[in-house]
Amino acid sequence: MIAAYPELLPETTGLPSPVGVELQSGTKPQLRFERDVRTDVADDRWTTDLADVAREPDTLRRARAEPVYTVYRRVLPGGGVSREIERHGLTYNLLVMRGGTLPGATEYVRNRGHANSVAPGTSLPYPEIHELLTGEAWLYLQHGTTDTPTDTVVIPLRAGQKAIIAPGFASLIVNVGDKPLVVGTWRMNDCETRHDELEALGGMAHFVLKGGDGKPFCEANERYKTVPVPRTALPHVLPDFGLSEGEPLLSAFHRSPESLRCLLRPQDFADTWKTLYD
């Protein structure tokens, strides 16, 4: 059985054709592309993959494994845009994640969370850019991957909104709605996502849980020594970076490929990073 949701249209994604959003067998989230869009083989993540970073790891290990989200890497729309993406050393990924909470838990469905590798020739980890194409999300950020992070930030996102992960921040995508969400992400092709330090701490500095009133809230991870109270920041509207609510990231790149220079040379944007979440 396949549950189908409204298609994502080209004016939403920047891709040349509609993208189908589906739940297979009631739980497995997937995207359906037309032939004019190419991607790498889909990478599925299951509840067992989240056990080391979830609030209730033993519950997930005991429960029957269920699919949680699927990542499509190196999404290429064909033609000149694809050549420009490859020429600039970029990759555009799509993530589709089911809604609700994890099995037997009050923690919202989320991804694993990660930090990024350091950009060559700098001391700065790579930044990345997210856009929410459909659904409701909290983007949770923490500065550093030790048990004493210096800052934590929550950015609530609705469809069409964007956010940049500044150098030095680890990030977590949380589906705080009941329906599937789809997130598009720009990063450099040689950017490696790092998970080991967060797994050693049992996840991020906070878990995002569903309260008795049905609203999300943050609960501190007790394995951290100190946990700053999360600040709430607004989604980013930065036209020079290709970030505006009415234009998909792929369309903005097609119009101005140099808008993503912040990903290639993060050291040139120190002033931007300092005030990004103010």
Tens of pLDDT along 164-173? Answer: 999 999 999 9
Which domain range does residue 126 map to? 36-265
When pLDDT is cut at 50, 70 and 90, the band that residue 79 belongs to is confident
pLDDT at 3: 87
For residue 124, the one-letter residue type is L
Q: Band of the pLDDT at 69, cuts 50, 70, 90?
A: very high
Where helices occur in 129-242 by DSSP H, the ranges are: 196-200
Q: Which residues contact 139 (CB under 8 A, 6 or more apart)?
A: 130, 154, 155, 156, 157, 163, 165, 171, 172, 173, 174
Beta strands in 9-165 (DSSP E): 19-24, 28-32, 43-46, 67-72, 90-97, 115-116, 128-134, 136-143, 152-158, 162-165
Q: What's the whole-number mean pLDDT along residues 82-92?
A: 95
Token pair listed for 249: 């990231």
Cβ count within 10 A of residue 243: 21
pLDDT digits (tens, 9 = 90+) for 218-246: 999 999 999 999 999 999 999 989 899 98
In a domain, 65, yes or no: yes
Q: What percent of the chain has pLDDT over 90?
A: 94
pLDDT at 51 over 90: yes
Q: Report which of residues 141 and 242 the model is more confident about.
A: 141
Is residue 8 included in any domain, yes or no?
Answer: no
202-218 confidence digits (pLDDT tens): 999 999 999 999 999 99
Q: Is residue 27 situated within a structural domain?
A: no
94-115: pLDDT as tens digits: 999 999 999 999 999 999 999 9
Question: Does 3 fall in a domain?
Answer: no
**Who wins on pLDDT, 78 or 265?**
265
Q: Is the pLDDT of residue 188 over 90?
A: yes
Structure-block tokens of residue 90? 């970029």
Does any domain span residue 20? no
Quick one: how far is CA 89 from the chain centroid?
20
SS3 11: helix
Q: Residue 87: is its pLDDT beyond 80?
A: yes
What CATH number is given to the structural domain containing 254? 2.60.120.10
pLDDT of residue 276: 96
Q: Is residue 78 part of a domain?
A: yes
Band of pLDDT at residue 262, cut at 50, 70 and 90? very high
- Residue 132 in any domain: the answer is yes
Q: For residue 2, what pLDDT is reported?
A: 83
Starting from the edge strand earliest in sequence, which strands make up the sheet with 128-134, in order?
43-46, 67-72, 90-97, 181-188, 128-134, 162-165
Tell me the average pLDDT of the chain.
96
Q: Could you tell me whether strands 90-97 and 181-188 are parallel, antiparallel, or unpaired per DSSP bridges?
A: antiparallel
Q: Structural domain tally of the chain?
A: 1
Residue 18 in domain: no
Contact (CB, 8 A) for 189 and 112: no
